[in-house]
Every structure is written in structure tokens, then in C-alpha cells.
Structure 1
Amino acid sequence: MGSNTIISKPVVRINEELMETLTLEQKKDWVSSCPPNMFQIDPHTQKVVLSPPETYHYDSKVTRKAASMGKPGLVEIVQKK
């Protein structure tokens, strides 16, 4: 009897209020520390936005970088089971 493993994408939530406390340079620094293409900076609004869900994968570097910037809770990533 084989088992089928379904890999689901994590749920990612940006704390918009906390994100707005960052300068554009801090946002760029944070985005560059994330897994490639997971987050982008909208060129018109300069807000950090999520990329299409197929690019997500769990990586704790994102949350560690936010904490090292003094912004724990900047993003929440929950791996779905």
C-alpha cells in the first residue's frame, strides 16, 4: 500500500503595517534576503508584494532576516500540512 505525499504551498502573510515602517532600502535589503522571486517590490507603489504562489517554499531565512532588522512579525509563513 503506497502513500501519496501531497506537497502544499505555505501560507504567507505580510504584516503591511509593519512593512510600511521600513524604508525603501530596507525593503530592498529584506526582499533580496528572501528565496528568489518570493517577494517583489511593486515599482509603482513601492510596496512589498507576494509573487505568484508557485514560487513559494518555506525558508526560515525570511523570518530570521526580519528579526535581525528589529522587525519580528514582518512576515508570517505557515507550512500547510
Structure 2
Amino acid sequence: MVYLSKKTSKMERQKLIEALQNEGIEAKHYLEIGLIEEKTAKRWLIRRHYFQLAKGGRTYTDIKYELSELFEVSISSIEKIIYRTNKR
């Protein structure tokens, strides 16, 4: 996977679809027709993993480093996704 602002490749899209399926969400069709944006789905996955790991008693720093490796995004991107409030 790449930074959230870049266009994703077919392989990256497949990884995202598989990650969503692991969460019990069948999103392939919705991603393909553009009903769900890949960027939004990826951010949702990062937030979900973050809070699941935080409930397990892990330190926030460890969680951010792990998610940075798992989703191949920078730690500052992880922090923005987790700590920024939505202004919509």
C-alpha cells in the first residue's frame, strides 16, 4: 500500500479488499463502482486497528509504529488519521 494521497494499484486495491473482508465487510463491488473511496476505507481500517490494539493495553507509540509498517504509511499520517477531528 502507498500513502493515502496516491492512486492505488490493482494489487494495493486487492490488499485493501482482503483487509475489509477480514473485518466482515464485502466492499469489492462498492470500491469498484466508486461508491466507497479507497482512501476512506483505508483510513477506517487504520482507525479500527488502532483502537482495537489500544484496548489490548499496548502503548500508543508501539501501535503507531506497527500500523505504519502494516499499512505502509508514515507515522505522521497515522497520527493525523487518529487524532485529527473531522471538519465535515
Which range, TM-score by smaller chain? Answer: 0.3 to 0.5
1 or 2 for the larger relative contact order (CA 8 Å, sep ≥6)? Answer: 1
Q: So what's the TM-score if we normalise by structure 1? A: 0.35
Relative to its length, the structure with more helix (as a share) is: 2
Relative to its length, the structure with more strand (as a share) is: 1
Q: So what's the TM-score if we normalise by structure 2? A: 0.33
The structure whose Rg is larger is: 1
